[in-house]
Structure 1
Protein backbone atom coordinates (compact mmCIF):
# COMPACT_ATOMS: atom_id res chain seq x y z
CA UNK A 1 0.00 0.00 0.00
CA UNK A 2 1.41 3.39 -1.02
CA UNK A 3 1.17 6.47 1.13
CA UNK A 4 0.62 9.71 -0.76
CA UNK A 5 0.95 13.07 0.94
CA UNK A 6 -1.28 15.76 -0.48
CA UNK A 7 -1.52 19.43 0.38
CA UNK A 8 -4.96 20.93 -0.13
CA UNK A 9 -5.62 24.66 -0.43
CA UNK A 10 -9.01 25.43 1.11
CA UNK A 11 -10.69 28.85 0.99
CA UNK A 12 -13.92 29.61 2.83
CA UNK A 13 -14.58 25.89 3.21
CA UNK A 14 -14.11 25.20 -0.50
CA UNK A 15 -11.27 23.02 -1.79
CA UNK A 16 -9.47 25.08 -4.42
CA UNK A 17 -6.53 22.91 -5.46
CA UNK A 18 -4.52 19.87 -4.39
CA UNK A 19 -0.74 19.67 -4.61
CA UNK A 20 1.91 17.05 -3.91
CA UNK A 21 4.38 19.55 -2.43
CA UNK A 22 3.97 22.05 0.38
CA UNK A 23 5.97 24.63 -1.58
CA UNK A 24 3.50 24.56 -4.50
CA UNK A 25 0.51 24.70 -2.15
CA UNK A 26 1.98 27.68 -0.27
CA UNK A 27 2.71 29.50 -3.54
CA UNK A 28 -0.87 28.96 -4.76
CA UNK A 29 -2.27 30.08 -1.39
CA UNK A 30 -0.14 33.24 -1.55
CA UNK A 31 -1.35 33.91 -5.10
CA UNK A 32 -4.96 33.63 -3.86
CA UNK A 33 -4.16 36.08 -1.03
CA UNK A 34 -2.81 38.55 -3.59
CA UNK A 35 -5.92 38.14 -5.76
CA UNK A 36 -8.15 38.70 -2.70
CA UNK A 37 -6.27 41.93 -1.97
CA UNK A 38 -6.52 43.11 -5.59
CA UNK A 39 -10.31 42.72 -5.84
CA UNK A 40 -11.22 45.75 -3.67
CA UNK A 41 -8.47 47.76 -5.38
CA UNK A 42 -9.95 47.01 -8.82
CA UNK A 43 -13.54 47.60 -7.69
CA UNK A 44 -12.62 51.03 -6.31
CA UNK A 45 -11.43 52.14 -9.76
CA UNK A 46 -13.46 54.11 -12.28
CA UNK A 47 -13.54 51.09 -14.59
CA UNK A 48 -17.05 49.99 -13.51
CA UNK A 49 -16.12 46.30 -13.38
CA UNK A 50 -18.71 43.81 -12.22
CA UNK A 51 -17.71 41.40 -9.45
CA UNK A 52 -16.96 38.32 -11.64
CA UNK A 53 -14.81 40.42 -13.98
CA UNK A 54 -12.95 41.99 -11.04
CA UNK A 55 -12.28 38.53 -9.63
CA UNK A 56 -11.02 37.18 -12.97
CA UNK A 57 -8.79 40.20 -13.51
CA UNK A 58 -7.42 40.01 -9.95
CA UNK A 59 -6.69 36.28 -10.38
CA UNK A 60 -4.93 36.95 -13.70
CA UNK A 61 -2.81 39.76 -12.27
CA UNK A 62 -1.93 37.71 -9.18
CA UNK A 63 -0.99 34.66 -11.24
CA UNK A 64 1.33 36.85 -13.37
CA UNK A 65 2.67 38.91 -10.46
CA UNK A 66 6.36 38.59 -11.40
CA UNK A 67 5.81 39.84 -14.95
CA UNK A 68 3.47 42.57 -13.68
CA UNK A 69 6.02 43.73 -11.08
CA UNK A 70 8.65 43.93 -13.78
CA UNK A 71 6.35 45.97 -16.02
CA UNK A 72 5.48 48.33 -13.15
CA UNK A 73 9.18 48.93 -12.61
CA UNK A 74 9.45 50.07 -16.24
CA UNK A 75 11.03 46.99 -17.78
CA UNK A 76 9.92 46.23 -21.34
CA UNK A 77 7.54 43.34 -21.87
CA UNK A 78 9.17 40.14 -23.04
CA UNK A 79 8.10 39.20 -26.54
CA UNK A 80 6.21 35.94 -26.92
CA UNK A 81 7.73 33.39 -29.26
CA UNK A 82 5.93 33.48 -32.62
CA UNK A 83 3.89 30.44 -33.52
CA UNK A 84 5.33 28.56 -36.47
CA UNK A 85 3.03 28.38 -39.45
CA UNK A 86 2.21 25.12 -41.16
CA UNK A 87 4.08 24.30 -44.34
CA UNK A 88 2.87 25.74 -47.64
CA UNK A 89 1.68 22.31 -48.72
CA UNK A 90 -0.73 22.20 -45.79
CA UNK A 91 -1.98 25.72 -46.62
CA UNK A 92 -2.84 24.82 -50.21
CA UNK A 93 -4.51 21.50 -49.51
Structure 2
Protein backbone atom coordinates (compact mmCIF):
# COMPACT_ATOMS: atom_id res chain seq x y z
CA UNK A 1 0.00 0.00 0.00
CA UNK A 2 1.30 3.44 -0.91
CA UNK A 3 1.10 6.44 1.36
CA UNK A 4 0.05 9.67 -0.29
CA UNK A 5 0.21 13.00 1.50
CA UNK A 6 -2.42 15.56 0.54
CA UNK A 7 -2.77 19.17 1.61
CA UNK A 8 -6.32 20.50 1.56
CA UNK A 9 -7.21 24.18 1.50
CA UNK A 10 -10.49 24.61 3.39
CA UNK A 11 -12.41 27.89 3.72
CA UNK A 12 -15.56 28.26 5.81
CA UNK A 13 -15.85 24.48 6.02
CA UNK A 14 -15.68 24.07 2.23
CA UNK A 15 -12.75 22.31 0.59
CA UNK A 16 -11.43 24.63 -2.10
CA UNK A 17 -8.51 22.65 -3.49
CA UNK A 18 -6.29 19.66 -2.76
CA UNK A 19 -2.53 19.64 -3.38
CA UNK A 20 0.28 17.12 -3.04
CA UNK A 21 2.81 19.89 -2.43
CA UNK A 22 2.75 22.01 0.76
CA UNK A 23 4.33 25.01 -0.97
CA UNK A 24 1.57 25.10 -3.61
CA UNK A 25 -1.13 24.68 -0.95
CA UNK A 26 0.30 27.59 1.07
CA UNK A 27 0.50 29.77 -2.07
CA UNK A 28 -3.15 29.03 -2.88
CA UNK A 29 -4.14 29.78 0.71
CA UNK A 30 -2.38 33.18 0.48
CA UNK A 31 -4.19 33.81 -2.82
CA UNK A 32 -7.53 33.18 -1.09
CA UNK A 33 -6.49 35.49 1.78
CA UNK A 34 -5.78 38.24 -0.75
CA UNK A 35 -9.10 37.59 -2.52
CA UNK A 36 -10.92 37.90 0.83
CA UNK A 37 -9.21 41.23 1.46
CA UNK A 38 -10.04 42.50 -2.03
CA UNK A 39 -13.65 41.43 -1.57
CA UNK A 40 -13.83 43.48 1.62
CA UNK A 41 -12.52 46.50 -0.29
CA UNK A 42 -15.03 45.92 -3.10
CA UNK A 43 -17.90 46.01 -0.62
CA UNK A 44 -17.27 49.74 -0.25
CA UNK A 45 -16.83 50.35 -3.98
CA UNK A 46 -19.08 52.89 -5.72
CA UNK A 47 -20.52 50.13 -7.95
CA UNK A 48 -23.24 47.62 -7.16
CA UNK A 49 -22.13 44.00 -7.30
CA UNK A 50 -24.01 41.04 -5.92
CA UNK A 51 -22.09 38.67 -3.64
CA UNK A 52 -21.24 36.12 -6.36
CA UNK A 53 -19.94 38.83 -8.72
CA UNK A 54 -17.90 40.40 -5.92
CA UNK A 55 -16.34 37.02 -5.00
CA UNK A 56 -15.54 36.21 -8.63
CA UNK A 57 -14.02 39.64 -9.27
CA UNK A 58 -11.98 39.51 -6.05
CA UNK A 59 -10.55 36.09 -6.95
CA UNK A 60 -9.80 37.27 -10.49
CA UNK A 61 -7.97 40.36 -9.21
CA UNK A 62 -6.02 38.29 -6.67
CA UNK A 63 -4.96 35.83 -9.39
CA UNK A 64 -3.86 38.72 -11.62
CA UNK A 65 -2.28 40.93 -8.98
CA UNK A 66 0.89 41.37 -11.03
CA UNK A 67 -1.13 43.07 -13.77
CA UNK A 68 -2.33 45.58 -11.17
CA UNK A 69 1.15 46.50 -9.99
CA UNK A 70 2.57 46.70 -13.50
CA UNK A 71 5.75 45.15 -14.81
CA UNK A 72 8.75 45.13 -12.53
CA UNK A 73 11.42 47.60 -13.50
CA UNK A 74 14.81 46.19 -14.23
CA UNK A 75 17.36 47.43 -11.77
CA UNK A 76 20.78 47.99 -13.23
CA UNK A 77 23.50 45.96 -11.64
CA UNK A 78 26.64 47.71 -10.47
CA UNK A 79 28.65 45.84 -13.11
CA UNK A 80 26.33 47.05 -15.87
CA UNK A 81 26.63 50.66 -14.68
CA UNK A 82 30.42 50.47 -14.65
CA UNK A 83 30.55 48.91 -18.12
CA UNK A 84 28.14 51.55 -19.47
CA UNK A 85 30.31 54.35 -18.08
CA UNK A 86 33.42 52.78 -19.56
CA UNK A 87 31.80 52.72 -23.00
CA UNK A 88 31.12 56.48 -22.81
CA UNK A 89 34.72 57.43 -22.02
CA UNK A 90 37.11 58.15 -24.88
CA UNK A 91 39.85 55.61 -25.41
CA UNK A 92 43.42 56.86 -25.79
CA UNK A 93 45.18 55.66 -28.89
CA UNK A 94 48.30 53.66 -28.26
CA UNK A 95 51.16 54.41 -30.65
TM-score (norm 2): 0.70
- Which residue number corresponds to residue 19 of structure 2? 19
Structure 2: which 5+ residue stretches go unaligned?
Answer: 73-95
Q: CA deviation at 1:16?
A: 0.7
- Tell me how many residue pairs correspond in the alignment: 72
Q: CA deviation at 1:6?
A: 0.6
Structure 1: which 5+ residue stretches go unaligned?
Answer: 74-93
> Which whole-Å deviations, capped at 9, do the CAs of 1:9-32 have from their partners, x for residues lacking one?
011111110001000000000000
CA RMSD of aligned residues (A): 1.5
Moved over 6 A (4+): none
Q: In 2, Cα distance between the equivalents of 1:65 and 1:24?
A: 17
Q: CA deviation at 1:67?
A: 2.4
Q: CA deviation at 1:34?
A: 0.3
- Which residue number corresponds to residue 78 of structure 2? none
TM-score (norm 1): 0.71
